[in-house]
Amino acid sequence: MVQNGQITLYSSPYSPFTHRVRIALDQAKADYTEYVIDFANKPSWYAEKINPIGKVPAITYGGPKSAPENPPPESAKINESLVILELLADLFPEANLLPSDPVLRAQARLFINAFETKAFDGFKDFFFMYVKGSDKSLLESLEALQARLPPTGFAVGPEWSNADSAVAPFLVRMDLMLRHDVGRYPQEEGAAILEALRGAKFARLAKYIDDIMKSPVFKTTWDEEINLKLIKLNPATQRK
């Protein structure tokens, strides 16, 4: 499809939510401009003109290319990473961001839902807040996510889809943080989780994470060294 108007992505290099959208935009081969929002010095026009809740990611879609702080008045302003993934699947049908089969599409959404309603909380509570007991809930939620994976391939089959774009930024960061002992969690709990995730019970999830990291669509959006530096700098990952 010929893209019908400009796309601007408002982003942060720290943000796994932005990462979701970047993967899908690349997969769709969309022509887009990226503008990094500095969290320490958020421009007031961002909430006024783009995303009233002030978070990233957000996109503007439509109209001619223009300065990021002055989006075309006719452009749509869309926030929430998962909603943006849905929009991109609709805008770029030939990119197959979602499978064409209705049942597989539903399964992709269920996979995303399993991550969003359970695993994300485990991830946040263990790595960024450290809530007591979150080691257990993180492993339980990962087991439930793993149970949804087909025997081989990605979340809903051999082809990468929005389901993978939605979870990959988190699973890969989780693996990286555990390998480098970064995050709020007590060191021994991190070591125990890493051991569990390397064990037979989580073999399918480990293979999935490995396949994600080897996938061309993911590799073009990920630099492990830079991300490790960013994660280590994030105040929310510092142990107290």
Ligand X SMILES: N[C@@H](CCC(=O)N[C@@H](CS)C(=O)NCC(=O)O)C(=O)O
Task: Provide φ and ψ at 43, rounded to 5°.
Answer: -65, 140
Binding to ligand X by residue 55, rule CB under 6 A?
A: yes
CB closer to ligand X out of 41 and 100? 41
Residue of 81, 107, 141, 165 interacting with ligand X (CB under 6 A)? 81
DSSP secondary structure letters along 120-173: HHHHIIIIII--TTHHHHHHHHHHHHHHTS-SSSBTTBSS--HHHHHHHHHHHH
Nearest residue to ligand X by CB is: 55
Of 80 and 86, the one with the shorter C-beta distance to ligand X is 80
Please tell me whether residue 113 binds ligand X under the rule CB under 6 A: no
User: How many residues of this chain interact with ligand X, rule: CB under 6 A?
Assistant: 11
Residue 7: in which H helix or E strand, if any? strand 7-11
Please pick, from the candidates 17, 92, 154, 170, the single residue that binds ligand X as defined by CB under 6 A. 17
What is the closest distance, in whole angstroms, from the C-beta atom of residue 117 to ligand X in the complex? 12
- DSSP code for 8: E
- Which letter does DSSP use for residue 52 in this model? T
Q: Maximum distance among all alpha carbons in the chain?
A: 54
Query: For 48, which DSSP code?
Result: I
Q: Of the two residues 43 and 54, which places its CB atom closer to ligand X in the complex?
A: 54
Helix, strand, or coil here: 115?
helix
List the one residue from 23, 25, 50, 56 that touches ligand X (CB under 6 A). 56
Taking the complex as a whole, the smallest distance from the CB of residue 158 to ligand X amounts, in Å, to 27
Binding residues (CB under 6 A) for ligand X: these are: 12, 15, 17, 39, 54-57, 80-82
